Amino acid sequence: MVLSTPALVLLTANLGLIWLLLAAPIGVRTIRIRRQFRERPERIWSMVHPLGRNRLWFPSILSSEPGAAEGRVVQHFAHADRRGNPISRTLEIDTDEKAGRQVYEARVVEDSALDPRFWAHYRERRVVEASAGGAALIVEQTDRYRGLAFMIFRFFMLRREMQQLDVWLRTGTASRSGVFEQPATQAAIAVFSTLLLWPFFGFNIWGLALSTMLTVVIALHELGHLAAYRAFGHERVRMIFIPLLGGVAIGSRPYNSLFEVAVCALMGAGLSAFLVPILIAISVTGGQVEALQGLAPPAMTLLLIMAAFNFLNLLPMSRFDGGQVLRQVFPTRDALMGASFLVTAAMLWTGWRCGIPLEALFGGLAVMLLLSLTGSGSVKPREALDEMSGPERLMAGFGYYAALAIHGYGLVYACEVIFTR
């Protein structure tokens, strides 16, 4: 089996985007947004200052009260911590109020959910200025970034806050969620992603079918993560499609235990694994039952895409689901390295069985390894997660190897049917 030029271009583009979004050394950067409001500056200031009269206008903020020390403000948010309680955050603020211009600067000194080092470089500055016809609000957030993803996320969160502030001034109400997270929007993005992938598979009906299958595979993979989140008690779960890169499943709170981390990471490939024997059965019976003959070729193509996508996601590297699972299952560095080596060897053998040249396999492995080593620094919780019990460790470990074996077998089977028969 030889990868086509469009497939190589798509793979290279994906790896480059992953590095740019998650690992590129961006350094200290400031996000700055300015918005004009037809409102008195005093009213805008009462909404944006942590101790202002209308400070609770945004639904995400449950309370914002003076702290025990001077210049401190304690806020509680609607977002839950690992125990399901509202996240609390303590700010140190410095306020400067003058005629026609009010300014406050803040930094986070304590967070009930995150390690203090997460906020080490974070600074926020808000300025309200009198202007013709109303007031201007300027918001600046400064932090050190590794990869563009979180910086882009903060930019859009600030834009949403500004838009909701405008809505509140006009209607007296605001919403936590935005248009981007609505199911209809995500469905439209999924269609756009499908069309964006189409040229890589050929501008014909078969190319459109392949890009549609890939989008379906991505959706099934993320649905597995969502199912795991709900099983662990997450009340609100979301799926976000990212064109060219896939999708992201988001829970309603941080992880509570290592077992939860492992299972939620594993279930992306785990749910799809149940479809592998069904697709193989369609292929086998397609040659014996006339009514199923037309289903066998598309079933094998879907199996090839699904097995390859999930098999790669089980790579024992930090940026993939497989690395997330193995880090929780094997607590020591030596055990983790040993397990990762054996899994990588098994995956290389599977690739060789599929007909991929050894040079391409080892070249791809080197690229994946380099990508994994350029770590972005994970977001660490304030408190250590609950440890796994022995049975939980066995369950997660055997579940990982079962998913790896099922998708590996499905990949080899599909390659043999499509490329050698």
Whole-angstrom distance, CA of residue 360 vs CA of residue 367? 11
Spell out where 42-85 has E strands: 61-66, 72-80
Whole-angstrom distance, CA of residue 27 vs CA of residue 262? 31
Q: What is the pLDDT of residues 388-405, one digit of tens each?
A: 999 999 999 999 999 999
Q: What is the pLDDT of residue 259?
A: 96
Judge whether residue 133 has pLDDT over 80. yes
Local structure of 325: helix, strand or coil: helix
Residue 237's contacts (CB-CB under 8 Å, 6 or more residues apart) are 226, 229, 230, 249, 250, 251, 252
In whole numbers, what is the pLDDT of the chain averaged over residues?
88
Contact (CB, 8 A) for 42 and 129? no
Q: What is the pLDDT of residues 331-383, one digit of tens each?
A: 898 999 999 999 999 999 999 888 888 777 777 777 677 666 555 456 778 88
Q: Single out the residue of 143, 139, 167, 197 nearest to residue 7, CA to CA.
A: 197
Q: What is the pLDDT of residues 109-123, one digit of tens each?
A: 999 999 889 999 999
E strand or H helix that includes residue 49: none
Whole-angstrom distance, CA of residue 360 vs CA of residue 160? 44
The first and second tokens of residue 407, run together, are 């998708």
Would you place residue 421 in the very low, low, confident or very high pLDDT band (cuts 50, 70, 90)? low
Q: Is the dihedral of CA 362, 365, 370, 371 positive or negative?
A: positive
Judge whether residue 1 has pLDDT over 80. no
Q: What is the pLDDT of residue 126?
A: 96
Judge whether residue 41 has pLDDT over 70. yes
Cβ neighbours around 171 below 10 Å, total: 8
Q: Single out the residue of 382, 274, 273, 356 nearest to residue 321, CA to CA.
A: 273
Q: What is the pLDDT of residue 380?
A: 78
Whole-angstrom distance, CA of residue 130 vs CA of residue 34? 13
First to last CA, the chain: 13
Local structure of 1: helix, strand or coil: coil
Query: Measured between alpha carbons, how far is residue 141 from residues 108, 116, 123, 155, 205 in Å?
Result: 12, 17, 6, 9, 47
Q: Single out the residue of 87, 88, 92 nearest to residue 51, CA to CA.
A: 92
Cβ neighbours around 26 below 10 Å, total: 17
Beta bridge partners of 28: 144
Torsion of CA 182, 187, 192, 195, to 10 degrees: 170
Render the burial of 1-10: b for 16+ CB within 10 Å, e for the rest: eeeeeeeeeb
For range 187-212, the mean pLDDT: 89
> For 125, how many CA atoms within 13 A lie in the half-sphere containing its CB?
12
**DSSP secondary structure letters along 208-266:** HHHHHHHHHHHHHHHHHHHHHHHHTT-S--EEEEETTTEEEEE-SS---BHHHHHHHHH
Contact (CB, 8 A) for 355 and 1? yes
For range 32-61, the mean pLDDT: 94
Residue 280's contacts (CB-CB under 8 Å, 6 or more residues apart) are 303, 410, 413
Parallel/antiparallel/unpaired status of strands 134-146 and 25-37: antiparallel
**Residue pointed to by tokens 């008690």:** 233
Q: What is the pLDDT of residues 245-292, one digit of tens each?
A: 788 898 888 899 999 999 999 999 999 999 999 999 988 886 666 666
- Phi and psi for 93 in degrees, rounded to 5? -120, 150
Ordered domains of the chain (ranges, CATH): 5-23+181-420 (no CATH), 25-176 (3.30.530.20)
Whole-angstrom distance, CA of residue 178 vs CA of residue 182? 7
